[in-house]
Amino acid sequence: MKLTMPLPGNRANARWHWTTEKKLRDEFYLACDIMCRGQRKNRKRWDRVTIKATLYVWQMSDQDNLVARLKWPLDYLVKRRFILDDSPKVLEWVGMPDQKIDRKNQRVEIEINPIEGE
């Protein structure tokens, strides 16, 4: 399954008040709900998955910043029951997140696939 989500802000060095962060996260989840509508219906939550992420960004970032940007998308996948959890017991990464320049349509594309037989 491939999901397209909005690109969250770079939170790597962010120090927001918790109310500001909650407001921004809630807005992000709402945008994800709109972009991912219909992909959650009548689908069993997977207990073990592989995941690959591609971020379409304004400019290239450090790898640690890319990983930090995936916090909210991964939390969204858990909250909306796409996956059981975002722990290593459930989530197996297929390489590091990739990044490509797309200044007109910044987004995150996440590909998740069930691991069969576990």
What pLDDT tens digit does each residue of the chain (118 aa) get?
899 999 987 766 667 788 888 898 999 999 999 988 877 665 677 789 999 999 999 999 888 888 889 999 999 999 988 888 999 999 999 999 999 999 999 999 999 999 876 5
By the 8 A CB rule, do 29 and 79 touch?
A: yes
Residues spanned by the domain of 68:
2-114
> How many domains are there within the chain?
1
Structure tokens at 5: 């989500």
pTM of the model: 0.86
Amino acid at residue number 32:
C
